[in-house]
């Protein structure tokens, strides 16, 4: 596969997932601020921008500022609008390899931004619309793409981004209201996993179990371990020749080591300093992206990552 096409598919997966998860994080954080009147709005908004890798402006930071920088403004590199635009540009570069339904779902989603329709949506409407459109794009990809190398790159990008963004959701929950039960419940709902969590732990709602579910559950598709395992499988499938000893692929080594470190460490060790552990995981995702770029995309057009991350 041409490195240009492979890179475009990889970034389509990442950008669509990032737009969806940014909407999920904003939904959680704004809901928590509405429910708790004692929360310092400016400090909370600054924390949210920091978690998303965005430098906060000087002076007081309001909810409106956060929404402008992370949702509506297409000129803000970390915004949902900008991310959807980047996904559409990646799709345009790989147009000849995409199915017509997949291209149309991405292009139609993007067209809401220059038309002005996206900005007119109320915050709750924005978050729901983005999640619905991301589900449509992913569903079209699942239903119409052959499971060849292009599919592996798209799912690889989606999985790396999902692990990164779930880590940000977990960090948000751990920091919000000192890791209160309400924060974890909201985070589980944002991941679409609240009902699955209740069934898994038979109605027992504690911070520890919620963290364990989002970090380590092998069956829930938005858990960090599940996302890392899926990324690891994609990389294995792309290395069709296989290796008899060790791994020459740095991306495989990084992902596999991180997954094993999470699964074989005691949960108590992870939750002691959860925000720091999630920051380390985000650094691993960035390093993995660089390793994938070096191995598969050499010679393709360079692409900068959004939100201050590589």
Per-residue confidence (pLDDT) for residue 303, from 0 to 100: 52
Per-residue confidence (pLDDT) for residue 167, from 0 to 100: 93
State whether the Cα torsion 82-220-179-268 is positive or negative: negative
201-249 pLDDT tens trace: 987 778 889 999 999 999 999 999 999 999 999 999 998 755 555 566 8
Q: Give the CA count within 13 Å in the CB-facing half-sphere of 23.
A: 28
Higher-confidence position of 18 and 51: 18
pLDDT at 172 over 60: yes
Per-residue confidence (pLDDT) for residue 15, from 0 to 100: 97
- 308 — pLDDT class (breaks 50, 70, 90): very low
- Using CA atoms, how far apart are residues 233 and 240, in angstroms rounded to an integer? 11
Considering the chain, what is the average pLDDT of its residues? Answer: 88
With CA atoms as reference, report the closest residue to 184 among 193, 192, 174, 195.
Answer: 174
pLDDT at 302 over 50: no
- 102 — pLDDT class (breaks 50, 70, 90): very high
Scanning the chain, the segments in alpha helix (DSSP H) are 3-35, 41-51, 63-67, 80-93, 100-111, 117-120, 123-144, 149-175, 181-190, 194-200, 207-216, 224-238, 250-264, 267-271, 274-296
Which of 39-48, 90-99, 199-208 has the highest mean predicted lDDT (pLDDT)? 90-99
110-119 pLDDT tens trace: 999 999 999 9
């Amino acid at each position: 596969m041409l490195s240009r096409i492979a890179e475009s598919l990889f970034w389509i997966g990442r950008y669509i997932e990032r737009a969806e998860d940014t909407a999920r994080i904003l939904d959680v954080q704004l809901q928590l601020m509405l429910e708790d009147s004692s929360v310092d709005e400016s400090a909370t908004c600054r924390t949210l921008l920091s978690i998303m890798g965005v430098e906060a402006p000087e002076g007081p930071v309001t909810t409106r500022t956060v929404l402008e920088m992370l949702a509506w403004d297409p000129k803000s590199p970390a915004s949902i609008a900008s991310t959807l635009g980047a996904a559409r540009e990646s799709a345009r570069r790989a147009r000849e390899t995409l199915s017509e339904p997949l291209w149309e779902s991405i292009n139609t989603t993007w067209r809401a931004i220059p038309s002005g329709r996206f900005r007119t949506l109320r915050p709750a409407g924005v978050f729901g619309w983005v999640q619905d459109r991301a589900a449509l794009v992913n569903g079209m990809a699942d239903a119409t793409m052959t499971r060849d190398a292009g599919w592996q790159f798209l799912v690889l990008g989606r999985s790396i981004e999902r692990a990164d963004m779930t880590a940000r959701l977990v960090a948000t929950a751990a920091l919000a209201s000192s890791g209160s039960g309400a924060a974890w419940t909201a985070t589980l709902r944002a991941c679409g996993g609240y009902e699955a969590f209740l069934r898994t732990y038979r109605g027992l709602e504690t911070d520890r179990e919620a963290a364990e579910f989002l970090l380590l559950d092998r069956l829930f598709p938005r858990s960090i371990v599940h996302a890392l395992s899926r990324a690891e499988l994609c990389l294995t499938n792309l290395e069709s020749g296989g290796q008899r000893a060790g791994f020459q692929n740095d991306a495989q080594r990084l992902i596999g080591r991180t997954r094993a470190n999470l699964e074989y460490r005691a949960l108590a060790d992870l939750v002691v300093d959860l925000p720091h552990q999630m920051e380390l995981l985000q650094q691993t995702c960035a390093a993995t992206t660089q390793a994938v770029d070096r191995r598969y995309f050499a010679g393709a057009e360079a692409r900068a990552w959004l939100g201050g991350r590589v």
